[in-house]
Structures are given as C-alpha cells and as structure tokens.
C-alpha cells in the first residue's frame, strides 16, 4: 500500500519496516472470547473534536487503523447521537478487507449496532437505509420507534426506561457478534465504562493543540477508576501516535449446575 503516512511499531517490539495491513491486523487482532474495543481520536490536549467534529483530528494513518479495526470486528457499535452528528454512511469495506474477512470465516461486512434511548433516528439515513447487513438498534421498552425504522433495522429492547448495556451486549453475543468495536460518542463510552464493560481502548493522539472548548472522549456520570495496561504503541510519519490499552482477559463463562451456560 502506498500510504502517505507509513505506520511503524514502536513498542513492545519495534518494526524495522512500515507495517502493512496484515501486520496491523495481527497486532490488534481478535480474541477468543467476547470483547468490547473502544476506538477514539484525541488531540494532544485531550479534545474529542475540532469545530465540533472528530474528522478534524483524523489523518491518513488514523483512517487506516480505523478501517483495519472495522475489518476485525463482528459489530460496529455507535450511539444514535454520534450517528446523526457525524453523518455516518453505510458501513462498507473495500475489496481486500472483504477478502480478509472471507478468508477468516467472517461475513463480508460487520453489523452496524446503534444505541438510542430516544429512537430519534432517521430510517432514511444512509447508515441504516443502505446498510449491506441489516442493522440492529438497541433501545429500551419505553421508547417509541419512528415510522419506518423497523423496515430497515432490528429494534431490540434492553431495559425498562433506559438501555441496559450489559443486557444489550449479551444480546449481541447471543447473535454471534462477540467482537464489538465501539466508536462512541463520549456519553456511550462513559456509560460502558461505568458498567465495567470496556475491555480495550485504542486511542489515536493527533499532533494538534485544539485549545479550550471541546469535551473529552468520555462523558456522563462518575465511575470507578480502572487500570488498563498499555499493550502496543504505533507511530506514523505524520506525527500521529496510536496507543492500545487492554485489560487482562476475563474468565470465560462457566456453566451453571444445570449445564446451562451463564455469562
């Protein structure tokens, strides 16, 4: 790949040559158990956006890793507000990345999963209407679906008056969507952190000072501080730093006394 900003491994094992997509995929990888990976980009001074959008922080190297992470996942999880604000399009992959998925026994495209307590979603938005795989919308029992939403997506209700994220992830796992990549936004990241559901954080640090104003990558209620060890550091020639933090693997679900699997 003739990439304008080659990416090299810095730690734990430096690379003598820039990494190709196969090396990036091996570095990030998939796990042998259900796994929730967060992917965010931030400025040096911690801003989550520039002029209100995350695109102002992203560059060629970040977009490349962004695409590789989408290639690796079973489900792409995003908050409804982020889907609207960032103008998400249908989740599609290029030919080589679709071929990689086929080679590894995966569907050609990951499933888009939208978390929305309000169901303020436009069924005509391309992310939903043009999706190559029928999306899933996670909401709660009290939410009212707009006309046409169930025509383009499976609406799954988890919780009575707010989305129960633990139950929501269990629903995804029951559908075979074990490797979940979450792209935000900050409120969803905060809620997942508070529920102790985050296994990994992939953080791109853009070489920019955004100044005062933009929020952090996490928002919401205060949660317990949790340790997340650093696992990998990548650097790109455009000055972008890509960090991967991941917790120790959680124990696999054990069967109960009746032989029925539990989570």
Query: What pLDDT is stored for residue 260 in this prediction?
Result: 43
Q: Average pLDDT in the 190-194 region?
A: 95
Query: What pLDDT is stored for residue 252 in this prediction?
Result: 59
Distance CA 94, CA 208 (A): 29
Q: Is residue 262 over pLDDT 70?
A: no
Beta bridge pairs of residue 155: 137
Q: Average pLDDT in the 9-29 region?
A: 95
Beta bridge pairs of residue 9: 234
Angle subtended by helix axes 60-72 and 95-103, to nearest 10: 30
Whether residue 136 contacts residue 154, with contact meaning beta carbons closer than 8 Å, is answered with yes
Q: Is residue 259 over pLDDT 50?
A: no
Share of the chain above pLDDT 90, in %: 79
Two tokens at 92?
A: 């599609």
Residue 184's contacts (CB-CB under 8 Å, 6 or more residues apart) are 38, 40, 54, 78, 79, 82, 217
Q: Average pLDDT in the 76-88 region?
A: 96
Identify the structural domains of the chain with CATH numbers, from first to last: 33-246 (3.40.430.10)
Q: Average pLDDT in the 15-35 region?
A: 95
pLDDT band at 4 (very low <50, low <70, confident <90, very high): low
Beta strands in the chain (DSSP E): 7-11, 35-43, 75-79, 111-115, 136-139, 154-157, 179-182, 200-206, 230-236, 241-246
pLDDT band at 5 (very low <50, low <70, confident <90, very high): confident
Query: What pLDDT is stored for residue 222 in this prediction?
Result: 79
Two tokens at 193?
A: 């952190």
pLDDT band at 210 (very low <50, low <70, confident <90, very high): confident
Q: Is residue 261 over pLDDT 60?
A: no
Q: How far is Cα of residue 94 from the mean position of the Cα atoms in its chain?
A: 18
The number of beta carbons lying within 10 Å of the beta carbon of residue 151 is: 9
Q: Average pLDDT in the 46-72 region?
A: 90
Distance CA 65, CA 25 (A): 9
Q: Is residue 51 over pLDDT 90?
A: no
Q: Average pLDDT in the 181-202 region?
A: 95
Locate tokens 């590894």: which residue? 104
Output b/e per residue, 171-193; b: 16+ Cβ within 10 A: bbbeeebbbbbbbbbbbbbbbbb
């Amino acid at each position: 790949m003739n990439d304008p900003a080659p990416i090299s491994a810095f730690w734990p094992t430096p690379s003598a040559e820039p990494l190709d997509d196969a090396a990036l995929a091996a570095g990030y990888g998939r796990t042998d158990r259900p796994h929730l990976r967060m992917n965010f980009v931030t400025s040096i001074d911690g801003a989550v956006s520039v002029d209100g959008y995350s695109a102002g922080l992203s560059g060629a190297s970040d977009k490349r890793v962004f695409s590789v992470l989408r290639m690796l996942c079973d489900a792409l999880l995003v908050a409804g507000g982020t889907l609207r604000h960032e103008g998400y399009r249908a989740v599609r992959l290029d030919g080589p990345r679709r071929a990689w998925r086929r080679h590894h026994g995966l569907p050609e495209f990951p499933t888009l999963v939208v978390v929305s307590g309000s169901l303020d979603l436009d069924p005509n938005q391309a992310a939903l209407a043009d999706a190559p795989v029928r999306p899933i919308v996670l909401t709660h029992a009290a939410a009212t679906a707009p006309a046409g939403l169930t025509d383009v997506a499976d609406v799954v209700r988890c919780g009575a008056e707010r989305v129960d994220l633990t139950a929501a992830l269990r629903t995804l796992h029951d559908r075979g969507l074990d490797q979940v990549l979450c792209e935000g936004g900050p409120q969803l990241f905060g809620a997942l952190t508070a529920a102790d559901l985050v296994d990994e954080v992939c953080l791109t640090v853009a070489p920019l000072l955004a100044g005062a104003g933009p929020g952090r990558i996490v928002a919401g209620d205060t949660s317990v501080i949790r340790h997340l060890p650093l696992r990998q550091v990548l650097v790109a020639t455009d000055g972008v730093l890509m960090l991967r933090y991941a917790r120790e693997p959680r124990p696999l679900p054990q069967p109960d006394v009746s032989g029925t699997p539990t989570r």
